[in-house]
């Protein structure tokens, strides 16, 4: 190898050596995905407030249990014939719960309840009749408190307090049963209409111009004596008896006698017995006396040993609701206990009392005592047998 070639090789080796020894430029690190941020600690959120109140939740549980029970048995003085059919259809359509009605006279049904209770063979869930007929069942401790029913929490809708016994809440008034004077409009002209119970002591009403049933059958005179004893006193009733009253058997006979013209008026009678006659065209008119109008009201209760306790409560509550008041009382043609439901009595018996004389529990108990004793019968001069 000549010197020129040797020198070239030497230069090449030196260049390679220098390049190998030169520091390398740092390689930029590969782009990395940013680290995820640490999770934010979430404060557990409060559950959304329920749209239902505790009362609503409790009542929904009653409804659920009632539907499982599937039936309610009503021992009823009020629900008969077409009235019972209307109630059964409306209640079952509303809740899908069967309504069985055992109809009858209040006293008879009360005795049946007592017998079943003694035998511990319970059938009745609810019992409705005149308050006088329910009180003996209450005194045996066989009724439950109903003051928690939703209908009773409504305000400013009642024509009168729906709970007959506010302390215990066992008897709920289901309709108004007005008792007032009824006249024959053909025989008694407008200017001769009585305005006070005291008017009936006038000699012009003497001589069988007034019809009355013995208070053992028809109680309005007894109610009046209890409600306004300062006016319908023993002295008043003795004087009334001297007016030679036309004595009939029942309250319906009173209205029928006046409609026929056998008497000009009846001092006080139940308008529910008059209504059908008015609807048929009888010349009868209800007249409001200035002393006030009695409202002796039937009530419904739930039995302590009811086989279907939840369905029983639902039924009692429904009866006080606008739907129940409409279904039953429209079929009966009577006024309601609520302001937001129409008065279904006919024009001839529809009245607006100047003063309502409701009877409380004690007054009803006293009324029953007076009737049993025949007290007012004796004052009227009627033989008590």
**Alpha-carbon span 215 to 328, nearest angstrom:** 28
Q: Provide, rounded to the nearest whole percent, the portion of the chain with pLDDT above 90.
A: 78
Beta bridge partners of 266: 182, 211
122 in Cβ contact with 288 (< 8 Å): no
Chain segment 306-331, per-residue pLDDT in tens: 999 999 999 999 999 999 999 999 99
**Alpha-carbon span 279 to 92, nearest angstrom:** 30
* CATH code that applies to domain 178-295+364-380: 3.40.190.10
Tell me how long the chain is: 385
346 in Cβ contact with 278 (< 8 Å): yes
Q: What are the angstrom distances between the C-alpha of 311 and each of 10, 54, 60, 228, 306?
A: 116, 20, 12, 40, 9
For 38-105, the DSSP string reads PPP-PPPPPPPPPSS-HHHHHHHHHHHHHHHH-EEEEEESS--HHHHHHHHHHHHHHHS-EEEEEE--
Chain segment 171-210, per-residue pLDDT in tens: 999 999 999 999 999 999 999 999 999 999 999 999 999 9
Three-state DSSP at 272 gives helix
3-state SS of the chain: helix, strand, coil percent to 5?
A: 45, 15, 40
Instruction: Report the alpha-carbon angle 259-263-265, nearest 5.
Output: 80
Chain segment 244-258, per-residue pLDDT in tens: 999 999 989 999 999
Residue written as token pair 């306790």: 309
**Alpha-carbon span 316 to 172, nearest angstrom:** 8
Examine domains 56-176+297-346 and 178-295+364-380 and report if their fold is the same. Answer: yes
Q: With 0.75 as the threshold, say if the pTM is over it.
A: yes
pLDDT at 27 > cutoff 80:
no
Enumerate residues 6+ apart whose C-beta is below 8 A from 378.
Answer: 384
Chain segment 213-244, per-residue pLDDT in tens: 998 888 999 999 999 999 999 999 999 999 99
**Alpha-carbon span 231 to 234, nearest angstrom:** 9
pLDDT at 14 > cutoff 60:
no
For 222-248, the DSSP string reads HHHHHH-TTTS-HHHHHHHHTT--EE-
Query: What is the model's pLDDT at position 50?
Result: 56
pLDDT at 264 > cutoff 80:
yes
Q: In CATH, what is the architecture of 56-176+297-346?
A: 3-Layer(aba) Sandwich (3.40)
Q: What are the angstrom distances between the C-alpha of 290 and each of 25, 160, 197, 265?
A: 119, 19, 8, 17
Domain boundaries, the chain: 56-176+297-346, 178-295+364-380
pLDDT at 365 > cutoff 80:
yes
Query: What is the model's pLDDT at position 385?
Result: 67
pLDDT at 46 > cutoff 70:
no
């Amino acid at each position: 190898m000549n010197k020129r070639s040797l020198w070239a090789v030497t230069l090449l080796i030196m260049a390679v050596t220098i390049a190998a020894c030169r520091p390398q430029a740092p390689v930029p690190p590969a782009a990395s995905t940013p680290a995820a941020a640490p999770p934010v600690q979430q404060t557990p959120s409060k559950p959304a407030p329920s749209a239902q109140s505790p009362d609503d939740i409790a009542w929904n549980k009653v409804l659920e249990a009632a539907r499982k029970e599937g039936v309610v048995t009503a021992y009823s003085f009020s629900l008969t014939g077409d009235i019972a059919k209307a109630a059964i259809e409306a209640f079952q359509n509303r809740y899908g719960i069967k309504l069985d009605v055992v109809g009858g006279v209040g006293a008879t049904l009360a005795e049946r309840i007592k017998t079943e209770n003694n035998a511990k063979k319970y059938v009745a869930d609810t019992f409705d009749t005149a308050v006088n007929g329910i009180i003996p069942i209450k005194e045996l401790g066989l009724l439950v408190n109903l003051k928690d029913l939703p209908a009773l929490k409504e305000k400013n809708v009642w024509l009168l307090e729906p709970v007959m016994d506010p302390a215990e809440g066992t008897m709920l008034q289901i309709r108004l049963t007005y008792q007032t004077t009824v006249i024959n409009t053909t025989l008694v002209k407008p200017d001769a209409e009585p305005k006070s119970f005291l008017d009936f002591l006038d000699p012009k009403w003497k001589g069988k111009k007034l019809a009355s049933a013995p208070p053992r059958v028809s109680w309005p005179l007894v109610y009046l004596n209890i409600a306004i004893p300062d006016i319908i006193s023993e002295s008043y009733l003795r004087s009334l008896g001297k007016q030679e009253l036309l004595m009939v058997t029942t309250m319906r006979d009173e209205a029928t006698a006046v409609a026929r013209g056998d008497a000009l008026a009846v001092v006080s009678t139940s308008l529910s017995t008059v209504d059908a006659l008015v609807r048929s065209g009888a010349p009868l008119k209800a007249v409001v006396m200035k002393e006030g109008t009695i409202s002796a009201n039937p009530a419904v209760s739930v039995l302590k040993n009811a086989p279907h306790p939840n369905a029983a409560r639902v039924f009692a509550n429904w009866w006080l609701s606008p739907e129940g008041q409409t279904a039953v009382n429209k079929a009966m043609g009577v006024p309601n206990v609520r302001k937001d439901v129409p008065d279904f009595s006919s024009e001839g018996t529809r009245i607006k009392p100047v003063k309502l004389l409701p009877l409380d529990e004690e007054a009803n108990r006293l009324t029953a005592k007076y009737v049993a004793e025949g007290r007012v019968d004796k004052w009227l001069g009627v033989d008590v047998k």
